[in-house]
A and B are shown apart, each in its own frame.
Chain A
Amino acid sequence: MRMTLLLLLLLGGACHGAAKGQDEPLLRPFLQSYCAGCHGTKAQKGDRRFDGLSDDIQNASQAEQLQEILDQLNLATMPPADAPQPSEAEVRKVVARLTTALAEARQAARMNPGKVVMRRLNRAEYRNTVRDLFQLKMVDFDPTLTFPDDDATAGFDNVGEGLLTSDDLLRNYLEAARQVADKAVRPGPPPTRIHYRMRAESQPDVAGAGGAIANTDKQGRREAARLFIKFRQPLGLQPLDKKRGVPSTGEYVIRFSARAIRRKSRYQDDHLRYNSDEPMRLSISIDSRELGPTAHRIIGEYEIPDNQSIEIEHRVWLERGFTFHLHWANGPNGSFKRILRKVLPKYNEDALFPARNPPEMYIGSGPELHVDSLEIEGPFYDQWPPSGFARFFPDPPDSPDTDYLDASLMRLASAAYRRPVTRDEVEPYLKLARQHFQQQDDFWSAAKYGIRAILTSPNFLYLVESKPPQPTQRRVTDHELAARLSYFLWSSMPDDQLRSLADRGELSDPARLRQQVERMLADPKSAALTENFTGQWLALRKLGAMPPDPETNRAYYADNLEHAMRQETRLFFAHLLQENRSILEFVDANYTFLNAALARHYGIPQVDQEEFQKVSLNPEHHRGGLLGHGSILTATSNGVETQPIIRGLWVLENLLGTPPNPPPPDVDPIEPDTRGVVTIRELMQKHRDNPTCYECHRKIDPIGLAMENYNQVGAWRDRYGKKRPIDAAGELPDGTLIEGPRGIKQYLLDRPQQFTRCLTEKLMVYALGRRLSFADRDDIERIVTQVTDDHYGFRELIQHIVSSEVFHTK
Chain B
Amino acid sequence: MKRIIILLLLGLLPSMVRAEDRPNIILIMVDDMGRDWVSCYGAEHATPHIDRLAKQGVRYETAWCMPICTPTRVTLLTGQYPFRHGWTQHYDVPRWGGDGLRWTEFTTFARVLRDAGYDTAIGGKWQINHLGQQPAALRQHGFDEHCVWMGVEAERPDTKKRYWDGRIMTNGQRETVTYGPDTINRFLIEFIQKKRDRPFLVYYPMLLTHGPHTRTPLNQDDPPEGKPALYGGNVTYMDRLVGQLVAAVDEAGLKENTLILFTGDNGSASAGVLKGEPYVKGKGRLADHGAHVPFVVRAPFLTAGGRASRDLVDFTDVYPTLVELAGATLPEGIELDGKSLLPSLRGSEDPFEKRNWIYSQLGDFRMVRDWQHILDSDGNFHDLSKDPRQENDVSPLDKIAPGRRQRLQMILDRFPADAEAPFPEFEARHGQQ
Contact = CB atoms under 8 A, between A and B. Distances in A.
Interface string B35-78: 00000111000000001001100010100000000000000000
Interface string B336-353: 000000000000111110
A206 B308 contact: yes
Contacts of A354: 403
A74 interface: no
Contacts of B357: 350
A363 interface: yes
Contact of A209 (B41, B310, B351): B41
Interface residues of A, number: 31
A204 B308 CA distance: 6
Contacts of A202: 307
Contact of A352 (B54, B385, B406): B406
Nearest to A350: B356
Given A355-B404, A364-B350, A364-B351, A215 B385 contact: yes
Contacts, number: 88
Contacts of B59: 206
Nearest to A341: B403
A1 interface: no
A467 interface: no
B356 A206 contact: no
A357 interface: yes
Interface in B302-345: 305-310
Contacts of A355: 402-404, 406-407
Interface string B362-383: 0000000011100000000000
B429 interface: no
Contact of B404 (A206, A209, A347, A356): A356
B316 to A, nearest CB: 15
Contacts of A217: 400
Q: Tell me which of A341, A351, A354, A357 has the highest count of chain B C-beta atoms within 10 A of its own C-beta.
A: A357
A358 B305 CA distance: 26
B371 A360 contact: yes
Given A203-B307, A206-B307, A355-B407, A361 B356 contact: yes
A350 B385 contact: no
B352 A358 contact: no
A206 B352 contact: no
A204 B357 CA distance: 21
B124 to A, nearest CB: 27
Given A206-B55, A210-B308, A360 B356 contact: yes
Nearest to A352: B407
A266 interface: yes
Contacts of A348: 352, 356
A146 interface: no
A356 B399 contact: yes
B410 A356 contact: no
A357 B403 contact: yes
Interface in A144-174: none
A210 B356 contact: no
A404 interface: no
A679 interface: no
Contacts of A204: 307-308
A243 to B, nearest CB: 30
Contacts of A500: none
B352 A365 contact: yes
Contacts of B404: 355-358
B227 interface: no
A206 B54 contact: yes
A216 interface: yes
B174 interface: no
B160 interface: no
Nearest to A364: B349
A298 B40 CA distance: 45
Interface string A339-378: 0010000011011101111101111110000000000000
Contacts of B308: 203-206, 208, 210
Interface in B14-45: 40-42
B412 interface: no
Contact of A207 (B40, B352, B399, B407): B40
Contacts of B430: none
B102 interface: no
Contacts of A213: 61, 310
Contact of B372 (A207, A266, A351, A358): A358
Interface string A214-258: 011100000000000000000000000000000000000000000
B275 interface: yes
A187 B172 CA distance: 92
Contacts of B40: 206-207
Nearest to B349: A364
B352 A210 contact: no
B385 A216 contact: yes
Nearest to A368: B349
B372 A203 contact: no
A361 B406 CA distance: 15
Contacts of B385: 215-216
Interface string A259-299: 00000001000000000000000000000000000000000
Nearest to A348: B352
Contacts of A209: 41-42, 275
Contacts of B371: 215, 358, 360
A283 to B, nearest CB: 24
B218 to A, nearest CB: 24
Interface in A33-92: none
Interface string B401-421: 011101100110000000000
A569 to B, nearest CB: 50
B122 to A, nearest CB: 30
Interface string A608-630: 00000000000000000000000
Q: Tell me which of A360, A363, A365 has the highest count of chain B C-beta atoms within 10 A of its own C-beta.
A: A360
Contacts of B407: 350-352, 355, 357
Contacts of A365: 349-352
Contacts of B307: 202-204, 206
A76 to B, nearest CB: 82
B267 to A, nearest CB: 17
Contacts of A362: 351
A222 to B, nearest CB: 14
A360 B404 CA distance: 12
A360 B51 CA distance: 27
Nearest to B403: A355
Nearest to A357: B407
A712 B41 CA distance: 70
A210 B350 contact: no
Given A206-B40, A364-B349, A364-B350, A216 B406 contact: no
Interface in A82-125: none
Given A206-B55, A210-B42, A216 B352 contact: no
Interface in A183-217: 202-210, 213, 215-217
Contact of B400 (A205, A206, A216): A216
A117 to B, nearest CB: 70
A456 to B, nearest CB: 57
B308 to A, nearest CB: 5
A207 B400 contact: no
B66 to A, nearest CB: 21
Contacts of A361: 351, 356
Given A206-B307, A357-B404, 19 more contacts: A206-B308, A207-B51, A208-B308, A209-B42, A213-B61, A213-B310, A215-B371, A215-B385, A216-B385, A216-B400, A266-B352, A351-B407, A354-B403, A355-B404, A355-B407, A358-B356, A360-B356, A360-B370, A364-B349
17 contacts: A203-B308, A206-B40, A207-B40, A207-B54, A208-B42, A209-B275, A210-B41, A210-B61, A215-B385, A355-B407, A356-B400, A356-B404, A357-B407, A358-B370, A360-B356, A364-B348, A364-B349
The 10 closest A-B pairs by CB, nearest first: A355-B403, A209-B42, A364-B349, A215-B385, A203-B307, A356-B403, A352-B407, A356-B400, A215-B372, A361-B356
